[in-house]
Structure 1
Amino acid sequence: MAPDIIGAFMIGLAGAGHCIGMCGGIASLLNLGQQQASPIRNTLLYNLGRLTSYALFGALIGGAVSSLAELSGLNQSLAWLRLMAAFFMILVALYISKIWNALLFVEKAGQSIWRWIKPITSRLLPIQHPLQAFPYGFVWGWLPCGLVYSALTWSAVSGSYYNGALIMLAFGFGTLPAMLLVGVGARFIAQLQTSLTFRHITALMLIIYGLYTAYDAVKLLHLIN
């Protein structure tokens, strides 16, 4: 379980540039509507809402999949899902290293759902009180994102709602450095993301872990069969 949590954290941390591109502009809207803006408090509450949203997703998916597998006795399905999770991990690595942007196609799959959710965010703006930042972050946690989808595949094979929530929380904590430093340290993060050394080392670590997970899943399938 610990390696899965570390892997989810790495996905969030390595995708810092992607997070700034997807959510940086959104986070910058937090303080526009207040006469006496509280940027630190607003940012913290926004990210707390976002992480709560991720944890809820992870708990729901982890709990649902583990319950179905237990009721049906289809342990083989979990092995196949773990193989898919390994595949997504490798896709993330290829995306981070800018070899293949397949995650962008995955994000498009969630656009239809997002069209129904996006109008809710308009009702939460402008933010007149810091407490509005929490639901604002919670709703934006549903933003179609290939990195989120990748982490969710790990939640699906986590074995319980508790483990599923932990994996998504780990992913969320990995994204925090980028999101907390938007407008303050964004330039440093952007420079880090343009570093070939950083991207390639991170991608290599994710690929190694993805291949190890795939091997583990194939071995499990062989034992089941």
Structure 2
Amino acid sequence: MSGISLFPVFLVGLFGSVHCAGMCGGIVSAFSITARPFPVAVVTQGAGTRVASYNAGRIASYMLAGALAGGLAGGARVLGGVQQLQAGGYLLANLMLVALGLYLMDAWRGLAHVEALGNGLWNRIRPLAQRLQPLDGAGKMLGLGALWGWLPCGMVYSALVTAMFSGSALSGAAVMLAFGLGTLPMLMAIGLAGARLRAMMQRRAVRIGAGVVVLGFGLLGVARAMGGVHGGWLDLLCLPGATA
């Protein structure tokens, strides 16, 4: 996949990261000097290194999930011969963006039911985080991020649908890397600035604004999937389809 085709995935991660402020923001803001009250041993020196290590682990888990999703879809050559599956997957990916936009706006919480599907896996993974305490080194933060990357999250699942129909394990990993990098500015900022920025990002006006943008991406993609609009500049705003 090209950088241009991955740019919309990056934008989804960027605007959707207001949701990350609520899901992951609590633990990330604990790495900040301004967020001292936290029920684990977190030292105040080297907050930037700890935040970067945590996010590196988190994005690595996203990439692994994307590779698995892309591989399970059958690979680029198999998908290239099944046009209906490609079209259906592209439509589903954009419908997930519509659901995500409504979720961010708190207009429809249907995506919460999708999140619940990951609870079984998360209940098995979460206890492993206790073995990393105290969080007193970059290596432990990397491990924590790798575990936290499997936290049930409707936004991540919406990106995984795109990864699944991207055509291959490599393309699926690339999709989730672009998505993870989109979420990075928000979580890095929260990790360094603390709970005050997290609270600001959770304001209703901010969530509605971000939700409208993501909803717009999804609606454009749905219109394109249905043949209502065509490529050109829309390639910068619509999710990529499978590659041959």
- TM-score, with length taken from structure 2: 0.77
Change (3 A) 1:7 1:72: closer
Selected match of 1:131 from 133, 139, 149: 139
Do residues 152 (structure 1) and 160 (structure 2) align? yes
> Residues 156-188 of structure 1, C-alpha deviation per residue, up to 9 Å, x if partnerless?
110122211111111111111221111514355
Counterparts of 1:15 and 1:68, CA distance in 2 = 28
Asked if structure 2 preserves the Cα contact closer than 8 Å seen for 1:30 and 1:133, the reply is no
Asked if structure 2 preserves the Cα contact closer than 8 Å seen for 1:66 and 1:159, the reply is yes
Residue 206 of structure 1 and its aligned partner are, at CA, apart by: 1.7
Asked if structure 2 preserves the Cα contact closer than 8 Å seen for 1:38 and 1:130, the reply is no
Selected match of 2:201 from 163, 176, 189: 189
Counterparts of 1:69 and 1:109, CA distance in 2 = 29
Q: In structure 2, what is the equivalent of residue 22 of structure 1? A: 23
Match for 2:11: what amino acid? M
Q: In structure 1, what is the equivalent of residue 12 of structure 2? A: 11
Asked if structure 1 preserves the Cα contact closer than 8 Å seen for 2:163 and 2:172, the reply is yes
Match for 1:202: what amino acid? V
Q: Which structure: greater helix fraction? A: 1
Do residues 142 (structure 1) and 150 (structure 2) align? yes
> Residues 18-46 of structure 1, C-alpha deviation per residue, up to 9 Å, x if partnerless?
10111111224457525563210000000
1:41-190 alignment, distance < 5 Å: 41-67=49-75, 70=78, 74-182=82-190, 184=193, 185-190=197-202
Selected match of 2:225 from 207, 210, 214: 214
Counterparts of 2:212 and 2:41, CA distance in 1 = 41
Counterparts of 2:133 and 2:53, CA distance in 1 = 15
Counterparts of 1:88 and 1:3, CA distance in 2 = 21
Asked if structure 2 preserves the Cα contact closer than 8 Å seen for 1:82 and 1:213, the reply is no
Counterparts of 1:4 and 1:85, CA distance in 2 = 14
Do residues 205 (structure 1) and 216 (structure 2) align? yes
Counterparts of 1:48 and 1:71, CA distance in 2 = 30
Match for 2:174: what amino acid? L
Match for 1:16: what amino acid? S
Counterparts of 2:209 and 2:163, CA distance in 1 = 26
> Residues 53-80 of structure 1, C-alpha deviation per residue, up to 9 Å, x if partnerless?
1111111211231339729954433332
Asked if structure 2 preserves the Cα contact closer than 8 Å seen for 1:97 and 1:203, the reply is no
Asked if structure 2 preserves the Cα contact closer than 8 Å seen for 1:53 and 1:141, the reply is yes
Q: Percent identity?
A: 35
- Give ranges in structure 1 of 5+ residues lacking alignment: 217-225
> Residues 191-223 of structure 1, C-alpha deviation per residue, up to 9 Å, x if partnerless?
5x624773364145323333135325xxxxxxx
Matched residue of 2:45: which SS?
coil
User: Mean Cα displacement is larger for which, 9-18 or 40-49?
Assistant: 9-18
For this pair of structures, how many residues does the alignment match? 217
Match for 2:145: what amino acid? G
Counterparts of 2:201 and 2:79, CA distance in 1 = 46
Superposition CA RMSD, Å: 2.8
Counterparts of 1:121 and 1:196, CA distance in 2 = 29
Change (3 A) 1:99 1:3: farther
Q: In structure 2, what is the equivalent of residue 222 of structure 1? A: none
User: Mean Cα displacement is larger for which, 35-44 or 197-206?
Assistant: 197-206
Matched residue of 2:151: which SS?
coil
